[in-house]
């Protein structure tokens, strides 16, 4: 099983296909779950405390807005841990955890900097594109190897 960072990290489609073909999707939900299930100081709704933007300083400087650094505290460790990535390039309406364009630019940049297998795609817009989309993802994931 290979850890695959999915972009958008909130994607149902990518999360499903990565798991369906035997790998581990790294997603927003997994990062949020870690916080929701860890004791500490109360900071609803996401259990992201004001400490998280400080942790985000590892990936973004202090003059970068708090919301970007807070989101990077979710994604930074996952980007470091991932062994492959699938990036959908026209995910313009992914909200919440993926709601900040500046964070999204940084996430994509850090993924591109990383020497790992990557698959760049657009969302399918027709049935035939759907076939190409699923085939490309399956070929990519099959090619990653790892024990399934």
Write down the least CB distance from residue 83 to another protein, Å: 18
Which residues lie closer than 8 Å to 133 by C-beta, 6 or more apart?
121, 123, 124
State yes or no: residue 81 binds another protein (CB under 8 A): no
- Of 50, 81, 109, 143, the one binding another protein (CB under 8 A) is 50
Q: Are 88 and 122 in contact (CB under 8 A)?
A: yes
Q: Are 4 and 114 in contact (CB under 8 A)?
A: no
Q: Which of residues 109-138 bind another protein (CB under 8 A)?
A: 120-127, 129-136, 138
Write down the least CB distance from residue 112 to another protein, Å: 9
Max distance between CA atoms of the chain, in angstroms, equals 50
Q: Are 88 and 121 in contact (CB under 8 A)?
A: yes
Q: Phi then psi for 114, rounded to 5 degrees?
A: -85, 135
- Of 89, 109, 143, 148, the one binding another protein (CB under 8 A) is 89
Q: Which of residues 23-42 bind another protein (CB under 8 A)?
A: 25, 27-33, 35-42
- Of 90, 113, 115, 147, the one binding another protein (CB under 8 A) is 90
């Amino acid at each position: 099983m290979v850890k695959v960072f999915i972009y958008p990290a909130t994607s149902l489609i990518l999360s499903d296909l990565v798991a369906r073909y035997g790998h581990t999707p790294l997603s927003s939900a997994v990062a949020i779950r870690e916080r929701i299930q860890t004791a500490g100081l109360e900071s609803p709704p996401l259990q992201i405390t004001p400490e998280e933007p400080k942790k985000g300083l590892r990936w973004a400087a202090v003059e970068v807005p708090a919301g970007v650094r807070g989101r990077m505290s979710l994604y930074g460790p996952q980007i470091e841990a991932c062994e492959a990535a699938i990036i959908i390039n026209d995910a313009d309406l992914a909200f919440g955890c993926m709601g900040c364009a500046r964070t999204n630019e940084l996430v994509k940049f850090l993924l591109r900097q990383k020497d790992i297998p990557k698959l760049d795609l657009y969302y399918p817009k027709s049935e035939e594109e759907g076939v190409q989309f699923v085939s490309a993802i399956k070929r990519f994931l099959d090619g990653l190897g790892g024990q399934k």
